[in-house]
Structure 1
C-alpha cells in the first residue's frame, strides 16, 4: 500500500507537471499559428483582440462573482477582501492599458508582419527585459563580485544579441515546404522589411510586457486578491480596446465573424488562455516552482518552427536557427543567475516576490 502511494505521489509531482507544460507549450504555439492563419485570411489584429478579450471577460465574470461571495461569506475568519480605492482602480486601469491593450496590439501586429516563430523567440527576452526594467527602477543591483549578477547581465546581453541576429540576419534557407524561392535570394544577409518591422514591434511589445510585470508585482503585493486584479485589468483592457477599435478598423465588414479560421482562432484562443492555460500553469507553479515553468519557454521556438513550416508554409533559414539557439542560451543563463541568487536569499516568512506573477483565476485559500 505504501509503495503504491509513493508511486502515485511520484507520478503526480514529477511526471504530470512535465506533461502539462509540454501540452501548454504546444497549445500556445497552436493558438499563435491559428491566429497567424486567420490574419493571412484577412482578419485584422484589433478585431481578434476585441473578440478574444470580450469573450474572456464573459468567461471570467462568473468565477469573479463566485469568488467574491466566497471570500465575503465563507472566509469570515480572515476578514473581508481589501477595499478597492481609487488609486488601486487606476492601477488596474494602467495594468489593462499595458498588459492587455498595448501588449496584445503590439504582439499580434508583430506576428502579422513576421511569424509565430519570431514571436516565440522574442518572448524569451522577457527575463532580460524585466531585469533591465527592474535595474532602471533600482529594484535590482549589479554586484560584479557575484556570479549570479554577472550571469544575469551576461545572459541579458546574449539574449538581446540573439534576438537581433534572429531579426536582421536571414542567411541560406534550411528547410521549406512552400514554393521554392529564387536561389539568388537565399544568401541575403538581411531580412525582408516586413519581417524586420514585425520583429521591432515584437521587441517593443516585450518591453511593454516587462514594465507590466514589474507593475503587476508591485500591485499584487499591495492588493493580494489576485482574482480581482486579473478580472479588472482584463475588463479595463477590453474597454480600452473597444474604445479605439473603430479608429484602427473602421470597416464594418471586417467585424463580421464568419465560420472559419477567424472564429476558430477567437474561440480556441480564449478558451485555452482563460480556462486551461492559467489553471494548468498555476498548478505547475505549485508543484514545481517558477524555474521549472520557465525552462519550457525556449521549447516554444522549436514547436513554432515545426508548425510554421508545416501549416503556414514558412521557410526555416540559418539566421533563425542560430538566433534562436543564442536566445535560448541567454535565457537559460539569466534563469540560472536568478535561481542561484534566490538560493542565496535567507529564508523568511515573507512571500516570494521574485516568482513570476501569472494571470490566473485560481481561488484564494481561506
Structure 2
C-alpha cells in the first residue's frame, strides 16, 4: 500500500510539472526571460511557500542540528539544481515541453549508471541543453538521496536548497540577462507561470522528490520521468496548439505501456522477495532443525 501511495504522488508530480512547463513555454512565447523565470520561481517558493511551511512544521517539534558539512552538501545540491533548471528552461525556450520531456527520458539510464558508480546508493532495481539537464537531474537524485539519508528532514533540506538556488540563479541571470526590463513583473501570463512554477515545479516537486528518494531511492524516482512525455503531448496539443502526429501517439502509448510494465514487474519482484523472506524465516525457526534431525535418525 505504501508503494501505491508513492506511485500516486510521483505520477501527480509529473503531471503538475509538465503543466507548469507548458505555462512557462506560453510565458516565454510572450517575451518572459527564462533566466528571470527561474529566479522568481525559486524566490517565490522559498519565501511564500517553504518558509511558512517550515515554521509551521517545526513549531512544536525539534529538528536535528545543521552541521557545516550538511550545509555545504546542500549548497552543492542547490548548484546542481540550478544547472538542472537552467538547462531545462533554456531547452524549453528553444524547443517545446514535449521535446524537453522526450530528452529527459534519458534520466533513468543516467541515474542507474551514476548509482552504480557511486556505490553508496542501494541499486536493487536493476537537443543539447536538454540532454545536459538529464545528466544533472540524475546527479541531483543521487546527491539528494545521500544528503537526506544523512539528514532526514525533507522540508528543511528543501527550503535551504531552494534559498541557495535562488541566490545562484540570480548570479546567473544577472550575467546572462542584460535587459533590465526583463526583471519587471507583469500581471499577465508571466505572473501566472511564475506562481505555478513556484508552487508545483519548485516547492511541491522538490519536496516530493526528496521524500521519494528517501523512501525508495534515486533509481525509483527517475523511472517516472518518461511518463512526462505523455502529459506533455496532451497539454501541448490542448494548451499550446501543437500539431498531434501519429508518431507522438505511438511513442506516448509505448512509453505508458513500458512504464506500467516496469511498475508491474517491480511489484512482482517485491512479492517474490517477501515470499523468500517468509520461507527463510520458516526454515530458520527452532522447529526446523529438530524435524531435520528426526528424519535423519529415522533413515538410520
Q: TM-score, normalised by structure 2?
A: 0.74
Distance (whole Å) between structure 2 residues aligned to residue 281 and residue 140 of structure 1: 16
Quote the residue 1:87 is aligned against.
Answer: 69
Q: Mean Cα displacement is larger for which, 321-330 or 57-66?
A: 321-330
Partner Cα distance (1:219, 1:86) in 2? 13
Q: RCO (CA 8 Å, sep 6+): is it higher in 1 or 2?
A: 1
- Written as runs of structure 1 = structure 2, the 5 A alignment for 1:44-193 is 44-58=33-47, 59-72=49-62, 81-99=63-81, 101-139=82-120, 152=126
Q: Distance in 1 between matches of 2:117 and 2:220?
A: 27
User: Higher helix share goes to which structure?
Assistant: 2
> 1 CA distance for matches of 2:122 and 2:197?
38
Please tell me whether residue 213 in structure 1 is matched to residue 141 in structure 2.
yes
Matches within 5 A, 1:191-340: 199-273=127-201, 298-325=226-253, 327-328=255-256, 331=259
- TM-score calculated relative to the size of structure 1: 0.62
The offset of 1:114, in angstroms, is 1.5
Distance in 2 (CA, whole Å) between partners of 1:91 and 1:277 is: 20
1:43 maps to 32
TM-align CA RMSD: 4.0
For residue 328 of structure 1, report the CA deviation from its aligned partner: 4.8
Question: Is the CA contact 2:237–2:244 (under 8 Å) kept in the aligned structure 1?
Answer: yes
SS at match of 1:254: helix
In 2, distance between residues paired with 1:140 and 1:219? 11
CA distance in structure 1 between the aligned counterparts of 2:78 and 2:12, rounded to whole angstroms: 27
Hey, what's the Cα distance between the residues in 2 that align with 1:121 and 1:69?
Answer: 42
How many pairs align? 272
Q: Which residue of 1 aligns with 2:20?
A: 31
Question: Kindly tell me: are residues 130 and 332 of structure 1, through their superposed partners in 2, closer, same or farther at Cα, counting changes over 3 Å?
Answer: farther
Structure of larger gyration radius: 2
Give the conservation status (yes or no) of the 8 Å contact 2:111–2:141: yes
Question: Which string of whole-angstrom CA distances, capped at 9 and with x for unpartnered residues, describes residues 101-137 of structure 1?
Answer: 1111011111111211122233343322210111222
Q: What is the CA–CA distance in structure 2 between the aligned matches of 1:224 and 1:133, rounded to whole Å?
A: 22
Tell me the distance in 1 between the aligned counterparts of 2:101 and 2:208.
20
Given the superposition, is the C-alpha separation of residues 220 and 123 from structure 1 closer, same or farther in structure 2, using an over 3 Å criterion?
Answer: same
Residue 242 to residue 265, structure 1, CA distance change in 2 (3 Å)? same
Is the Cα contact below 8 Å between 1:128 and 1:331 reproduced in 2?
no
Question: CA contact under 8 A between 2:6 and 2:212: conserved in structure 1?
Answer: yes
In structure 1, C-alpha distance between the alignment counterparts of 2:209 and 2:73, rounded to whole Å = 25
Is the Cα–Cα contact under 8 Å of residues 111 and 218 in structure 2 kept in the other structure?
A: no
